[in-house]
Amino acid sequence: MARAIVLRQLTNAPKSRLQLARKLAERNVPDDVAEAVLDRFEEVKLVDDADFADMWVRSRSQSRKLAKGALRRELADKGIDPEIAAGALDQLSDADEEAAARELVERKLRGFTGSEDRAERDKITRRLASMLARKGYQPSLAFRIVGEVLDDAVANAGSEPYF
């Protein structure tokens, strides 16, 4: 029964060992049975937290544009060892993170004319920096990227549409 539960879970999507252990506990599988089944799945490489972490970081950084901080928290929630998480996060460079933040801000700024007054620009800056913060970006990076993109939008507003 425990094997069937684990196989069904892995069919839906890759899972960490802790996620599978939680699912087995939910189904009232005895701890010793759950451990034995999970150990066997690790032996045959069907459960591999390092591979899971690498895949998770690639997927979530591309699809959701999450920063390393948010990805680290998500991996911790899934029971990934901090050293394994750090190894997975190494595949993201600072330049990748900055490019993702810039893309998010540019996407949100479609329709920005640059003619907004200072109070409106400050409000836009706070909202965009808050959005980046929710995605795990450091405040210093968030405010710098937002400022640069807004400055570019204002500079390009006179010549042609920014987006």
**What does the chain look like in DSSP terms, one character per residue?**
-HHHHHHHHHHHS---HHHHHHHHHHTT--HHHHHHHHHHHHHTTSS-HHHHHHHHHHHHHHHS---HHHHHHHHHHTT--HHHHHHHHTTS-HHHHHHHHHHHHHHHTTT--S---HHHHHHHHHHHHHHHHHTT--HHHHHHHHHHHHHHHHHHHTTS---
Round the average pLDDT of the chain to a whole number and report it. 91
How do residues 35-72 score in pLDDT, each as one tens digit?
999 999 999 999 999 999 999 999 999 999 999 999 99
For the chain, which residues make up each domain, given as ranges? 2-89, 94-157
What is the pLDDT, as a whole number, of residue 160?
47
* Number of neighbouring beta carbons within 10 Å of residue 93: 9
Q: Measured between alpha carbons, how far is 61 from 92 in angstroms, rounded to an integer? A: 8
Using pLDDT thresholds of 50, 70 and 90, give the confidence band for residue 162: very low
Q: How many CA atoms lie within 13 A of 34 on its CB side?
A: 16
For 78-100, what is each residue's pLDDT tens digit? 999 999 999 999 999 999 999 99
Query: Of 89-98, 137-146, 149-158, which range is least confident?
Result: 149-158
